[in-house]
Amino acid sequence: MNDTVIHASDADFDNQVLNASGPVLVDFWATWCGPCKMIAPALDELAAGYAGRAKIVKVDIDANRSTAMKYHVRSIPTLLLFKDGQVQATQIGAVGKAQLAQMLDKAL
């Protein structure tokens, strides 16, 4: 697994997220979203810290509307934790790195 944040699209979401072998934390975000930009450094750190154990994936909701609609993303940032293709946890709004790490730890 990769030690950087992966950007997924509608086209490769299933491959990047649903078919992944371990937990995947997906950040639904947009370029104009202030809180999304605030949590980006924490996501970068988590991607490096959990390399080989979990993936961090970002989905730009403006460019990938069908994936955002499929998971009922109404406000951003929305973070969904997937494992074995299923949503295990949801976090709406910006939170600290520790809370995101806790979500990942529960899924490992």
Active site members: 33, 36
The Cα 105–Cα 65 span in angstroms is 29
The Cα 88–Cα 33 span in angstroms is 24
